[in-house]
Amino acid sequence: MKVTFESTPNPSTMKFNFGQKISDQSVDFPNVDACEKSPLAAKIFGFPWTASVYLGEDFVTVTKQDWVDWDILATPLAGLLGEHVESGQPVLLQLEASLDENQNDSDVVKQIKRILQNEIKPVVALDGGDIVFSKYEDHVLYIHMRGACAGCPSSQATLKDGIEVRMKELIPEIKEVVAI
């Protein structure tokens, strides 16, 4: 399996594209302690330069420590990722519950989740990231930025100039979008 890679707006994070679906859902592994659900993430965390791993449906973003360069890591890591998937080893052992709409959500929360799912997530996924709904209270939308978005130098611009502007445009009662 040929895995390609590309830089992201976060210079510490590289996006590895599989060209096919490798997971039914996206999962964030912000540190080595969180990776017990993914043999693939555990394998990547086996390298001391790994800071975090984000697993998308057809890509993986890896954030590295500052003391090593992508020029040295990217090609061998792409090969390792391809070998793992091609060998039939599992990517995830146990899937987390999805944050989809539920019957207890207010109409506004359902609308927010639909917009995040259909408009915002596909755009940030292009750069190897994800946006996850946390809560909506007192006209403030709280989200989690994951993958390449977490710690990215341009994440504040993405949050305020992109996500917040679009959410306010579609749902005028939203006063602010905050990353937690």
pTM: 0.64
Fold type of domain 4-86: Ribosomal Protein S8; Chain: A, domain 1 (3.30.1370)
Domain ranges of the chain: 4-86, 107-179
* Non-local CB neighbours of 94 within 8 Å, separated by 6+ positions: 37
pLDDT in tens, the chain (180 residues): 899 999 999 999 999 999 999 998 889 998 887 777 888 998 999 899 999 999 999 999 999 999 999 999 999 999 999 999 999 888 987 544 344 667 788 989 988 998 888 778 877 887 888 888 999 999 999 999 888 887 777 888 888 888 999 899 889 999 999 998
User: What whole-number distance in Å separates Cα of residue 56 and Cα of residue 74?
Assistant: 18
**Angle CA 153–91–85, to nearest 5:** 100
Q: What is the DSSP string of 8-56?
A: -SSTTEEEEE-SS---SS-EEE-SGGGGGG-HHHHHHHTSTTEEEEEE-
* DSSP structure class, residue 59: E
Assigned CATH class of 107-179: alpha beta
